[in-house]
Amino acid sequence: MDEIQTNNICREKRARPGSPRLCIETISTFYGEAKALDHISIEVHSQEVVGILGSNGAGKTTLLKTVTGLLSPRSGRILFEGASMEGKPCHEIIKNGIASVPEGRELFGSMSVIDNLLLGAYLLTEQKRKEILASRLEMVFSLFPILKERTKQKAETLSGGQQQMLAVGRALMSNPKLLALDEPSLGLSPILVSEMMKTLKRICDEWKVSLLLVEQNARAALKIADYVYLLERGSVALSGMCRDVISSSTIQRAYLGG
Ligand code: ATP
């Protein structure tokens, strides 16, 4: 393991600002008998962008699926603001404040932009929906003005970048405290990647939403991450504050061409 920081929760608490919002404690997740995550511990603090890096097959998507309820860990705990999340169904996890932007976006292509956005809010109670729907839409349109111009357009006719904006916007409609994103840069041009990363940072800074950001594009993720975990073969190989990790030989060699 790289010496930047061992995967030790107590040491992290001293080093990182804010309080832990999401605590993943020694979880192991399997596909059948194949172990994909091996005793992983990860924290996401309030108002923090946490980057999850790693090569193909490292376990990044499995981690997100475990956090968002698509997979159940065989052991370990997932606490969100103190409440147990492991084994809960996806809709319960969303109600607790964790929304996800899956790889490939999973939009409803034949539905309009506005209907996709409204679907993002469908798990809110009727009362809550009444209270916040207009302000949520306003928030999404302030982050992604192009979506406001295209409310009636079918999602499948949007460009790749616009579809990614819609996927993020839809997740924000559920009023989350934490957004879990799987490769939001995938398939986007370098300029769009840079714009998307800046917007994600705004979502964290201005809207106080914590981000758990899975990325193969380490260069992009490291631009906005506060804290970073590097996964290798289902384990945390390195973790640390972004400013420390970025200069480590492991990251430089493997991801930044150093
Ligand atoms: P990528 O960036 O390529 O998506 P990743 O870091 O997200 O990689 P995962 O998709 O989480 O990695 O895969 C972790 C391990 O679990 C890999 O060994 C992979 O082959 C295995 N795996 C993933 N999905 C399944 C599945 N549905 N059934 C069996 N094994 C799987």
Q: How far, in Å, from the CA of 244 to the mean position of ligand 1?
A: 28
| pLDDT at 15 (0 to 100) | 66
Ligand 1 midpoint to CA 206 (Å): 33
Q: How far is the CA of 215 from the centre of ligand 1 (A)?
A: 14
pLDDT value of residue 14: 47
State the distance from the centre of ligand 1 to the C-alpha of 53, rounded, in angstroms.
14
User: Alpha-carbon Rg of the chain, whole angstroms?
Assistant: 18
Q: What is the pLDDT of residue 16?
A: 81
Residue of the nearest CA to atom 9 in ligand 1? Answer: 59
Cα 130 to the chain's mean position, in Å?
27
> Structure tokens of 25?
């404690």
Q: What is the pLDDT along the chain (258 residues), one digit of tens a residue?
A: 443 444 444 344 446 877 899 999 999 999 999 999 999 999 999 989 999 999 889 999 999 999 999 999 999 999 999 999 998 999 999 999 999 998 877 888 889 999 999 999 888 888 888 888 889 999 999 999 999 999 999 999 999 999 999 999 999 999 999 999 999 999 899 999 999 999 999 999 999 999 999 998 999 999 999 999 999 999 999 999 998 888 887 787 777 665
If one residue of 29, 33, 53, 61 were mutated to test the ligand 1 pocket, choosing by the most ligand atoms within 8 A of its CB, it would be 61
Quick one: which atom of ligand 1 is closest to the CA of 214? 7
pTM of the model: 0.91
Beta bridge partners of 182: 214
- The conformation of residue 183, written as its DSSP 8-state character, comes to -
Tell which one of 53, 56, 62 to mutate to probe ligand 1, the residue whose CB is within 8 A of the most ligand atoms. Answer: 62
Cβ contacts of 29 within 8 Å, gap of 6 or more: 35, 36, 37, 59, 62, 63, 65, 66, 71, 72, 73, 74
- Residue 257's pLDDT is what? 64
**Overall size of the chain counted in residues:** 258
- The verdict on the CB of residue 10 being under 6 Å from ligand 1 is no
Q: Give the pLDDT of residue 253.
A: 75
- Closest residue to atom 14 of ligand 1, CA basis: 59
Q: Is the dihedral of CA 205, 208, 210, 215 positive or negative?
A: negative
CB of 102 within 6 A of ligand 1: the answer is no
Task: Please report the pLDDT score of residue 127 as a whole number.
Answer: 84
List the structure tokens of 88.
């809960």
| Start-to-end CA span in the chain (Å) | 19
Per-residue confidence (pLDDT) for residue 36, from 0 to 100:
97
Looking at residue 210, its pLDDT comes to 96
With a 6 Å cutoff on the Cβ, whether 58 touches ligand 1 is yes
**What phi and psi values does residue 238 have, to the nearest 5 degrees?**
-165, 145
Asked whether 56 lines ligand 1 (CB < 6 A), one says yes
CA of 54 to the centre of ligand 1 (A): 12
How many beta carbons lie within 10 A of that of residue 237, not counting itself? 17
What pLDDT shows up at residue 258? 59
pLDDT of residue 247: 84
> In the numeric block, which tokens belong to residue 60?
């990044």
Number of neighbouring beta carbons within 10 Å of residue 65? 21
Pairing relationship of beta strands 227-232 and 49-53 according to DSSP bridges: parallel
Mutation probe of ligand 1 site: the residue of 37, 60, 230 with most atoms within 8 A of C-beta: 60
Strand (E) positions, the chain? 20-31, 34-45, 49-53, 75-80, 83-84, 98-101, 178-182, 210-214, 227-232, 235-241
Structure token digits, residue 130: 């009444």
Query: Does the beta carbon of 162 sit less than 6 angstroms from any atom of ligand 1?
Result: no
Does the CB atom of residue 72 touch ligand 1 within 6 A? no
Nearest-CA residue for ligand 1 atom 26 is 31
